[in-house]
Structure 1
Amino acid sequence: MKKIVFVFSLIFAATFSINAQDISDNAIGLRFGGGNGIGGEVSYQKALGSNNRLEIDLGLANEFANFKVTGLYQWVWNLENKFNWYAGAGGGIVSASGTGIYAAGVVGIEYNFDAPILLSIDYRPEVGVAGGLDGLNSDVALSVRYQF
């Protein structure tokens, strides 16, 4: 039992001692999604610290009649060199077949090129709370962003 507690203590300590890579102050680009989401979204990220940021995504569909806005607070951790992984939570508003609100989470991995380009892939589960987006929806997306 003491060995198990010791191992979990080491894992816990290692998790919080990992150094985060500095992230760009701003990034803007496109998020190409699938699943039950609207599809492509314009994506903006704003750094809030050395290892956390705010992401805001806007998706438009049906000749701009329907929209989906998502806001996510994200924590970013360095994996190796230019690879980061991130996780976060937030929510949004959707207007497809009735206005609704939803809660969302995100987990993903990103690569920071030498040029100011950020490439990422993520998984975003969404749970409809009210309105047109009911139940659990999932979205996997590839994002390309310009950092400045």
Structure 2
Amino acid sequence: MTKRILFSVFLLAGLSASTKAQTIPKNAIGLRPNAGDGIGLDASYQRKVFTKNRLEFDLGLREDGHYDAVKFAALFHWVFKIDKGFNFYAGPGIGAGHWNDDRNYYNNGNGNDPRWSDNGGYGFVTGVAGIEYVFSNIPLQLSFDIRPEVHFGDDRKDYDNDYHDLVPDVGFGVRYTF
């Protein structure tokens, strides 16, 4: 009798653990509108790698009036269940980007002065912290997060007085889960 009770307890504990492990969708793909160093839109893909972890890859465009940028980010998430579809996630990340100055502030009367156009690449390290809701009845995930980025290898600050190496990136994700 004791063996049956212990077996039942272990079976229920195992089923409970496997149910909680399924709170992270295996895959999610969608869009992440964001703001920080300009207004942007990322194509976003998430892949579950362990029971409570996933990878996220984002490729996006930024625009802030005078500068345009393309950016790639790779992040690792630890995902913690909060309650009934709500999860908290946090983790580190890295990335790279390329920006282009399209400012026309040195106009010598015949168009842009090419001596003042500039572009460059940069790298960054980041972290992410956010909250998400995974719908149980439809394949949809909504998220809100912040990714403070520390840029390096970027000479953009030589040309833009408003630019800083620490960039907050706040985004809202809408992803299809499968």
State whether TM-score is above 0.5.
yes
1:92 aligns with one of 88, 95, 100 = 95
TM-superposed deviation, 1:37: 5.0
CA–CA separation in structure 2 for the residues paired with 1:99 and 1:136 = 16
- Extract unaligned runs of 5+ from structure 2: 1-19, 100-118, 157-163
Q: Superposition pairs for residues 1-148 of structure 1, below 5 Å?
A: 22-36=23-37, 39-61=40-62, 66-96=69-99, 97-113=119-135, 114-132=137-155, 135-148=165-178
Question: 1:81 Cα deviation (Å)?
Answer: 1.0
Identity %: 45
- Higher gyration radius (CA): 2
Amino acid of the structure 2 residue aligned with 1:129: F
Looking at structure 2, the residues matched to 136 and 73 of structure 1 have their Cα atoms a distance apart, in angstroms, of 20
Q: CA RMSD, aligned part only?
A: 1.8
Kept in 2: contact 1:105–1:126 (CA 8 A):
yes
Residue aligned with 2:95, SS: strand
TM-score by length of 2: 0.67
CA contact (8 A) 1:68 1:94 kept: yes
Equivalent position SS for 1:40: strand
Q: Give 1:51 deviation, angstroms.
A: 0.6
Instruction: Say how many residue pairs are matched.
Output: 128
CA distance, structure 2, for counterparts of residue 29 and residue 51 of structure 1: 20
Counterparts of 1:136 and 1:84 in 2: how far apart (Å)?
Answer: 27
Q: Which runs of 4+ in 1 moved over 4 A?
A: none
Structure 1: runs of 5 or more not aligned: 1-18
